[in-house]
Amino acid sequence: MKVIVIGAGIAGLAASLRLASKGYEVQVYEANAYPGGKLSEFKLGNYRFDAGPSLFTLPHLVEDLLVAAGKNPKETFSYIKLEKTCNYFYEDGIRFSAYADINQFEKELKDNLGLDSNELRNYLNKAEFKYQKTAGLFVEDTLHRFSHYKLGETLAGILAMPKLDLFNSMNDINERSFASKHLVQYFNRFATYNGSSPYLAPGLLNMIPHLEHNIGSFFPVKGMYHITKTIYETCLEKGVKFHFNNRVDEILVSDKKIKGIRIGEKEIPSDLVVSNMDVFPLYRKLLKKEKQPEKILQQEKSSSALIFYWGIKKSFPELSLHNIFFAEDYKKEFDTIFNQKGIDSDPTVYINITSKYKPDDAPVNCENWFVMINVPFNDGSQNWDALIKSAKENIIKKLNRILNIKLEDLIEEEEVLDPRLIEKKTSSYGGALYGNASNNRYAAFLRHKNFSSDIKGFYLCGGSVHPGGGIPLCLNSGKIVAELIEEDYGTIS
């Protein structure tokens, strides 16, 4: 049975590998010249950069995918657990490191913020509770087939609802949980993991720190792109055929059933089609003749990113793999992003430096800085050239002030990625990194399903559909699609 996968993002790769391992004939059509979508890499002079996602959690999802393909993950994919997940810098001079070890992290917060001895553990216990009660329902399986609801798990989730903080914002819950405004801001930042605002997103999303603190953060020893490379190469071993530089123009449908795809004047038949595209351009461009899910397409979009890739001719011992320089007025920053559709003059700055763990990513005594701020998706109203110029000046001023340096003299290489380019390279509508935002208590239910009820043989995966964006959710998305297809069509002998 022939399956065409549109897009070689991480979800498309995961679905392709699982389907090929089940005996399906899989062909992937990708508009770019490379696999991975946002999870790609490039070189700038003597510096190497992972272009997109930089945080690695739940590595067992990669291992499970490789096992499903008959591979030994230990021989294929190596990673380490980080002892220090991130360094944090505040404008008032407060600094602390988030350690993987809870005792060490607790001591760090007591020493720097006067943390109450029970605040952190109570909070992380609640985060774990929320995750355990909802992951099986909202993350690991489809929400849209009644037969998939396990009675005990569903009842447990329903009974837990009063404790899931669905009717309070993340910020409301964090302000109740911590006396320190610094810790409130620290835990508010986890809203950015799915492109949302902590002042709007439901308190349920305060389960996200469970992944980082109770389970851990990790780093692939060969860099984040090695996730893509490993899955892609395993796909090739399983017989998946890739067609790069091939942008699909239309998904062919006849009598409400998949017939294949069209590229230019060429029609390519297929039994099934899996889309790894953002749902907005998917429907507006590839399925123009079909019924449009307007309620989904018109929902508020997630934030995007402005990234400066800088080759820095100096090393900084006070920085680690992950580093955050907080805005002084966090609420104002999110208001600027989501309400004014602009960039605040004092943005929170994230710096990822893979050369800390992979030294060959930069020359000796130099570092590769992936410098990112959260920005609105491109709605057509922004003057991005002016915003980028201003943002760069503000970022440099902020880092100079906090680190007591003259950064402009240390930048010897630069590349810039903005929402316009993100959309061009990945077809993410307006450059929104996670499709629709989660600034709504019903967001988990409002994402597009992983299958079509209107078109037989059509399935969807990726960050804009259930269960959402980010590496773990996209890997789960690919798995859900493969399981749905196997359920509908069986394993091919």
Identify the CA nearest to 310 among candidates 260, 259, 349.
349
For tokens 């995918």, name the residue.
65
State yes or no: pLDDT of 149 exceeds 60: no
Residue 196 near residue 303 (C-beta atoms within 8 A): yes
Interacting residues of 86 by C-beta distance below 8 A, sequence separation 6+: 97, 98, 217, 320, 321, 322, 323, 324
Q: 479 is written with which tokens? A: 């798995």
Question: What pLDDT sits at residue 315?
Answer: 97
Q: How confident is the model at residue 155 (pLDDT cuts 50, 70, 90)?
A: low
Question: What pLDDT sits at residue 165?
Answer: 82
334-374 pLDDT per residue, tens: 999 999 999 999 999 999 999 999 999 999 999 999 999 99
Distance CA 380, CA 301 (A): 13
State yes or no: pLDDT of 157 exceeds 80: no
Question: What pLDDT sits at residue 134?
Answer: 83
State yes or no: pLDDT of 485 exceeds 60: yes
Q: Which residues of 447-473 are buried (b: 16+ CB within 10 A; e: fewer)?
A: bbbbbbeebebbbbbbbbbbbbbbbbb
> For the chain, what are the domain ranges?
2-40+56-62+224-299+437-489
Question: What pLDDT sits at residue 153?
Answer: 58
267-303 pLDDT per residue, tens: 999 999 999 999 999 999 999 999 999 999 999 999 9
Question: What pLDDT sits at residue 404?
Answer: 96
Question: What pLDDT sits at residue 154?
Answer: 52
Distance CA 347, CA 231 (A): 35
Q: How confident is the model at residue 156 (pLDDT cuts 50, 70, 90)?
A: low
Q: How confident is the model at residue 145 (pLDDT cuts 50, 70, 90)?
A: low
* pLDDT-wise least confident of 134-138, 167-171, 347-351, 362-366: 134-138
Residues 40-51 have a mean pLDDT of 97
Q: How confident is the model at residue 164 (pLDDT cuts 50, 70, 90)?
A: confident
Provide, for the chain, the percentages of residues in helix, strand and coil under a 3-state DSSP scheme, each rounded to the nearest 5: 40, 20, 35
Residues 173-184 have a mean pLDDT of 96
- Tell me how crowded residue 67 is: count the other CB atoms within 10 A of its CB: 14
State yes or no: pLDDT of 430 exceeds 80: yes
Mean pLDDT of the chain: 93
For helices 170-177 and 119-138, give the axis angle rounded to 10 degrees.
150
State yes or no: pLDDT of 246 exceeds 60: yes
**Domain 2-40+56-62+224-299+437-489 is in which class?**
alpha beta
For helices 151-160 and 119-138, give the axis angle rounded to 10 degrees.
140
Q: Alpha-carbon torsion 391, 434, 328, 352, what sign?
A: negative
State yes or no: pLDDT of 444 exceeds 90: no
Question: What pLDDT sits at residue 160?
Answer: 64
Question: What pLDDT sits at residue 493?
Answer: 57
Interacting residues of 126 by C-beta distance below 8 A, sequence separation 6+: 163, 206
The separation between CA 142 and the C-alpha centre of its own chain, rounded to angstroms, equals 19
User: Strand, coil or helix: what is 354?
Assistant: helix
Residues 140-166 have a mean pLDDT of 62
Question: What pLDDT sits at residue 490?
Answer: 85
Phi, then psi, of 219 in degrees rounded to 5: -145, 125
8-34 pLDDT per residue, tens: 999 999 999 999 999 999 999 999 999
Q: How confident is the model at residue 143 (pLDDT cuts 50, 70, 90)?
A: low
pTM of this structure: 0.94
Interacting residues of 201 by C-beta distance below 8 A, sequence separation 6+: 169, 170, 191, 194, 437, 438, 439, 440, 443
* pLDDT-wise least confident of 18-22, 96-100, 464-468: 464-468
Q: Which element (helix H / strand E) includes 311?
A: strand 304-312
293-320 pLDDT per residue, tens: 999 999 999 999 999 999 999 999 999 9
Interacting residues of 111 by C-beta distance below 8 A, sequence separation 6+: none
Residue 469 near residue 195 (C-beta atoms within 8 A): yes
Question: What pLDDT sits at residue 11?
Answer: 97
